Amino acid sequence: MVSIINEALSLSIALSAGIYAFRYMNRFTRILFYQLITWICFYLGSYALTTYQENSNIEPNDHWLLNIHLLLEALWLTVAAYNYSNAKTRKSLALILYGVFLIVFTIQVSVSGFSCFANLGMAAAGLMITILYLFILYDAFRSKAGLWYTSPEIWACIGLVIYFACNVPYFSLFTYLNDHYPILSGRLFSVITDVLANIRYFFLAIAFFIAARTKAVSTVNPHGR
């Protein structure tokens, strides 16, 4: 229950910031906002599904729902990275990495079934997103004329890289850890899903607030006087 409250808090703050800043967002941050809404819908759906299963004496299993979300989350974040850069090589890299993710995901669900969480697909998505958003961070730092912490893209990307970079080693060993070190696996899962997810969405909320503040200031005072 505590973890649900904590994650719901960060999601609520990010959603509120996104609604407030929506009209000031560029295409990149708007796509991240759409991804946030997608996750909130699946988060609530997962909670409702498992609650119903528990009340009906059915073993809780929302893995198939999380697999669908994984596909959509990877797609939204790939589209955001694709739209951020005008370089053909970066756009091609985004498409290639998403293709690799789809191959890994498809192979795993074909072998294990869609009702089993695609942990290798998650690891592949984490690696893909880490690579793409490190490139965006590099471009954002290089092109930023003022202070780096006034860039919404930098805040959003730092949160995403922290979250997904830590996903890669854990979910790559997910099955092994669950079989041999279940207590450790549970603790790691808690850190990633609670602590790092909160960091990710708090940083996204900061990105939205900065986007709104920057646009509002430039609109009110367009000539800097």
Q: Does domain 2-219 have CATH number 1.20.1070?
A: yes
Q: Which value, to the nearest 10 degrees, does the dihedral of the CA atoms of residues 6, 131, 152, 45 take?
A: -40
Phi, psi of 143 (to 5 degrees): -95, -10
Q: What is the rounded distance in angstroms from the CA atom of residue 223 to the CA atom of residue 54?
A: 60
Q: What is the rounded distance in angstroms from the CA atom of residue 157 to the CA atom of residue 167?
A: 15
Sign (positive or negative) of CA dihedral 11, 13, 17, 20: positive
Buried b vs exposed e over 46-81: b needs ≥16 C-beta within 10 Å? beebbeeeeeeeeeeebbbbbbebbbebbbbbbbbb
CB 171 within 8 A of CB 123: yes
Mean pLDDT by 10-residue block, N- to C-terminus, for the chain (225 residues)?
69 96 95 97 94 92 95 98 93 97 97 94 97 95 82 96 95 92 90 88 96 65 39
Domain spans of the chain, in order of start = 2-219
Residue 3's pLDDT is 56
Q: Cα 195 from chain centroid?
A: 14
pTM, two decimal places: 0.90
Residue 1's pLDDT is 52
User: Which residue, chain included where needed, has tokens 């990633």?
Assistant: 192
CB 114 within 8 A of CB 169: no
Q: What is the rounded distance in angstroms from the CA atom of residue 189 to the CA atom of residue 196?
A: 10
Q: What is the rounded distance in angstroms from the CA atom of residue 51 to the CA atom of residue 161?
A: 32
